[in-house]
Structure 1
């Protein structure tokens, strides 16, 4: 009798719903404008994010050509085999975070009028979780079919709205045909990011079937509320359990439950395997048309609720109708004493300072017993380490008591762990890189003629130097679409070294020089403590260059919704460094996120601001830029490169045959760019002190940008000499005077020459590889004390290095810094080499 009454009441409620005007249907506010293009046409979805099952010719009709309304090379992606009923070829798009997909647009291969291929039909497959999970095939909730109509010709794009949104991190477009035919496609996706983090849910059996449920997501997570036709799930048997699974650990603050006006008795909420909390409903807090919202403020229940799984148990009398459940939450990366460290490739790092009552960015969850245990173990290990270190120190001091460098007798070093040989042969050093395929021109022509008609004769007569900022036909040809600019742009440095712009140079293209480590590092090359930013050292007072009394314009504040963290790559006693992505104008940028540890924020604040003021004034095309900062929590987002460094690049091509002319022109272009960056720093009386290929970011168009991140990265630790008091010294690159007195601008010239020696040695071995660190240190100090310009101490001539270039390197290694050439003259020297290469290309 009771079940019969419940059924009758449910039928009556559904009947009432059917009488309501459909105009009452609502979208959640964050999804009202969820129809923006996701970046296939604009390039925000990069070439590295596009793969395919096969392609007829990867350089001509590969997946990177599948951009709607864009004519690149062959004009579209074309699979290698014809498409039929039983074929399976696909274009895969990596979105790197969860998106709601509302529509898909396709287009055939126009190919400037030469193309004849297009897809009449296609299917959509998608993934929400990791790459090992099963692919889900989209089906229309109105027709229950998986086949979607495509194009009718090669040139008209067709945009298809999806009957139900797809929540996905990865998309496959699968062309389909009822008869065998050749197919080519261009694609665009439309939708918006989803920050809720839900990747699946499961419920108790419902009265009516959810025709949008794909095995993980359905009506409860579609952003639609109050749709009388199909957005309600109903139950008539209490209790009802709904379990949500999230992509990562999250800190939950509020739960919003959208129901009809039926007052369920209570709700039990359970986070992971923790004890559940019980919420008693007193009154519906707010309503949207016929939909009522119960907002559960979790802060009222005392504890901080963390988890990857949330289970909600409803208890009610008659019937329950739910249309949507949303969670206000923040992703959490658990650090130090946490239960786990999240290594998801695309996890937004939330650094929130909206309220003093909220937790700081990277929430550290400690458990008392775990803290005591770990602290005890670390203390015991530290005591043993101190005893061992003191014992080694005493032995080392007695062994070297006869050391003839008396003024340095109190400095004791320990050698970095590095493989060396006594025969002087090069030992190849490897470095990690992302393995990305770098574009190379088929004909090995690196330099092409450029038109200088837009440079005035007045500027040329002043001896101005010209270098390309961005161009589709730059000095170094690359495979498109490495640049989306339509015309040449140049920046001009005049005879007074004042930086000006020529033609149209966007204000967004501002380069702020940033540093590597967060925390204090003793640099022996400058007899003082350099903290937080150890990349640039003022040679003298720079008040003549900067007006410190004027208001400093810092980079923009970090937009936490655009920041994605990949993993932690380094940690010092004062800070941590993460790698990730930062979205600027819908374009994903590879970045390093450098964070001052929470307990040092107050101590480090003034140093952070002082050095940030200097960095915010720096602006050069060959210096890594500072994208954004956070002044309350003291962290910054700094430019990095997905291709790694110059050293990574040379290691990657070490097994490839390179034309000698191409190799020489490439190195000259690298040398010119590096000299340009140092010329800019020297004009501001700033010294770098760590110039090497490991500190030159490499980009696919052969641009390099000087940075100072290597010192903080473990993969380069064998290239530094670690002293017993924690100093890191780039001993094999450093100028002699930087060890004994203090560095000058000419010290960077010395290191610049060692870096060029690396280039022409193809980064195959470390400088002075036959000497240990102690032996090299003694020879440098002895040579400096004797003030003897010993030519035999110079690095040997690399096999592929021209004699003219090597002579320049030897001049830069002069023991007397004042006799080394000026960096401005060096930049001009390589500029003329580039001009000469162009003239030879034109004449041939």
Structure 2
């Protein structure tokens, strides 16, 4: 049964990025997985309206978190949640203070701040640059807001907003999934098609210290002028560099920083390939690695050359093997194959466990001559390791063997049933085709049918009926063995008179 379920269920593919449409799991405010000590606030009105009572659908204490005093438009009171690890946030739901229909306070609007390390805080804004989210209209209904773009953070602050002095109370839940990739920032030169949601710093035409469109889980379309978003400009989904962009010399250089050392298996780059407009995937890429900030880059890079495609204009993922290099910092140079190079997503398949034997020796050379040309790349979450793929191989082989055996059995049964049906159809036809001899006695009008011997059929006469003559039996007109005597008699040749006389005097002849 388990093998059969494996056969009919699709095998999950190893992908490098999170799908925002499916990453919508409650993170634990309502059910208590987020502990009270991980929920703090800038202030509280009473002990019974502390931050630990800001849980969705919960009426403990006085029913919600309420900051101290009436909230003024200039205030920045906040509720802070520590998720304990980097998380991909896609949705937030809020309520007011219901308290058994005694509460009257709720937040009509609020803002979000977030941090990956608890030190540097960033303000969330949507794709149109607006940072205020609509809240509640009453104390009991849940108001939900999709976060577009999503947030990658460990710490989140919810800041109620008011236009007039008023008392505000809130309950909430956060939704998303773990950001297992561990990427905390990427840097890049400013692109001709820019990164509109980048949350880092722009300095001297270089982006650094943040994440943006390359980590939002949204891949671009085949036609880069089309977009999956609303109310945005053409080409929004891609970061695009032209080969004469300042800071690029036949290649674009990107640097990725992770939250700790990792073993890198591969990198996946979603690239546009509309060659009719001068856009192609990169011709080759070279990547260097290092474990520490002050260490030099490894002397020998990993070099990968692509196969260019001038027939299919579809955007596609290009997988670059990284040969299980151990590093915390990765620098890659993507070389132009045409006038334009456009990326919408970059993801890494990696593990956060490093063996001592995999730590590289410190080299002496490094590609540091043009640090200013570092390019942004989008990283997505790795989903599995090589060891898990190898462990699944016997299961897949077993599934295939089981499928083949089931097909063989089904085909055998079908052929057997067809053979039996043909035999049953031919049996009555053979009986009808055999020669039948009929002789008539004109004296007694008795008809004797002589046919080749037929296997006896059991016939049980109905109760109370007996056969007066063993030469007679009841004939069923629908019986395939029944022959109409009249038709047979018409076919018989006329007998000489002497033969008829002898037949009258001598009785029946067979």
Range class of TM-score, shorter chain = 0.5 to 0.7
Separation in 2, partners of 1:323, 1:337: 31
Q: 1:107 aligns with which of 88, 95, 105?
A: 95
Label 1:201 to 1:147 Cα distance change in 2 as closer, same or farther (>3 A).
same
Residue 282 of structure 2 corresponds to residue 264 of structure 1: yes
Note the C-alpha offset of 1:28: 4.7
Partner residue, 1:45: 34
Partner residue, 1:195: 180
The DSSP-based 3-state class of the residue aligned with 2:214 is: helix
Partner residue, 1:208: 193
Partner residue, 2:303: 279
Q: 1:68 aligns with which of 56, 60, 63?
A: 56
Label 1:27 to 1:108 Cα distance change in 2 as closer, same or farther (>3 A).
farther
Separation in 1, partners of 2:41, 2:101: 24
Q: String of CA shifts for 1:526-563, please: whole Å, max 9, x gaps.
A: xxxxxxxxxxxxxxxxxxxxxxxxxxxxxxxxxxxxxx
Label 1:288 to 1:66 Cα distance change in 2 as closer, same or farther (>3 A).
farther
Partner residue, 1:239: 251
Residue 351 of structure 2 corresponds to residue 330 of structure 1: yes
Label 1:352 to 1:28 Cα distance change in 2 as closer, same or farther (>3 A).
closer
Q: String of CA shifts for 1:194-235, please: whole Å, max 9, x gaps.
A: 111111111112002322111111111111112542220000
Partner residue, 1:219: 213
Give the superposed CA RMSD.
Answer: 2.9
Q: 1:137 aligns with which of 123, 139, 152?
A: 123
Q: 1:307 aligns with which of 304, 313, 327?
A: 327
Q: String of CA shifts for 1:339-367, please: whole Å, max 9, x gaps.
A: 9xxxxxxxx9x99954789xxxxxxxxxx
Label 1:156 to 1:270 Cα distance change in 2 as closer, same or farther (>3 A).
same
Unaligned regions of 5+ residues in structure 1, if any? 1-25, 340-347, 358-844
Note the C-alpha offset of 1:336: 11
Separation in 1, partners of 2:301, 2:356: 27
- Whether contact under 8 Å (1:259, 1:291) holds in the other structure is yes
Residue 302 of structure 2 corresponds to residue 290 of structure 1: no
Partner residue, 1:248: 260
Paired residues for 1:498-577 under 5 Å: none
Partner residue, 2:69: 81
Separation in 2, partners of 1:83, 1:354: 52
Separation in 2, partners of 1:335, 1:315: 33
Unaligned regions of 5+ residues in structure 2, if any? 1-14, 201-209, 228-235, 244-249, 274-279, 291-296, 361-381, 392-510
The DSSP-based 3-state class of the residue aligned with 2:268 is: strand
Separation in 2, partners of 1:351, 1:224: 23
Note the C-alpha offset of 1:270: 1.3
Separation in 1, partners of 2:306, 2:356: 39
Partner residue, 1:57: 46
Structure with larger RCO (C-alpha < 8 A, sep 6+): 2
The DSSP-based 3-state class of the residue aligned with 2:100 is: helix
Partner residue, 2:395: none
The DSSP-based 3-state class of the residue aligned with 1:112 is: coil
Separation in 2, partners of 1:274, 1:165: 34
The DSSP-based 3-state class of the residue aligned with 2:198 is: coil
The DSSP-based 3-state class of the residue aligned with 1:220 is: helix
Paired residues for 1:366-515 under 5 Å: none
- Whether contact under 8 Å (2:16, 2:348) holds in the other structure is no
Q: String of CA shifts for 1:385-441, please: whole Å, max 9, x gaps.
A: xxxxxxxxxxxxxxxxxxxxxxxxxxxxxxxxxxxxxxxxxxxxxxxxxxxxxxxxx
Note the C-alpha offset of 1:276: 4.8
Partner residue, 1:169: 154
The DSSP-based 3-state class of the residue aligned with 1:126 is: strand
Q: String of CA shifts for 1:16-67, please: whole Å, max 9, x gaps.
A: xxxxxxxxxx995655411111111111111121111111123x11111001
Separation in 1, partners of 2:313, 2:181: 24
- Whether contact under 8 Å (1:284, 1:293) holds in the other structure is no
TM-score scaled by length of structure 1: 0.35
Note the C-alpha offset of 1:283: 2.1
Paired residues for 1:631-642 under 5 Å: none
Label 1:28 to 1:351 Cα distance change in 2 as closer, same or farther (>3 A).
closer
Separation in 1, partners of 2:138, 2:307: 58
- Whether contact under 8 Å (2:125, 2:131) holds in the other structure is yes
Higher helix share: 1
Equivalent pairs, count: 314
Note the C-alpha offset of 1:315: 1.3
Label 1:334 to 1:27 Cα distance change in 2 as closer, same or farther (>3 A).
closer
The DSSP-based 3-state class of the residue aligned with 1:249 is: strand
The DSSP-based 3-state class of the residue aligned with 1:73 is: coil
Separation in 2, partners of 1:226, 1:292: 9
Label 1:231 to 1:77 Cα distance change in 2 as closer, same or farther (>3 A).
same
- Whether contact under 8 Å (1:120, 1:177) holds in the other structure is yes
TM-score scaled by length of structure 2: 0.57
The DSSP-based 3-state class of the residue aligned with 1:64 is: helix
Label 1:85 to 1:276 Cα distance change in 2 as closer, same or farther (>3 A).
farther
Q: String of CA shifts for 1:80-103, please: whole Å, max 9, x gaps.
A: 132222111111111111111111
Note the C-alpha offset of 1:187: 0.7
Separation in 1, partners of 2:16, 2:133: 25
Label 1:239 to 1:188 Cα distance change in 2 as closer, same or farther (>3 A).
same
Label 1:333 to 1:298 Cα distance change in 2 as closer, same or farther (>3 A).
closer
- Whether contact under 8 Å (1:219, 1:323) holds in the other structure is yes
Separation in 1, partners of 2:312, 2:183: 23
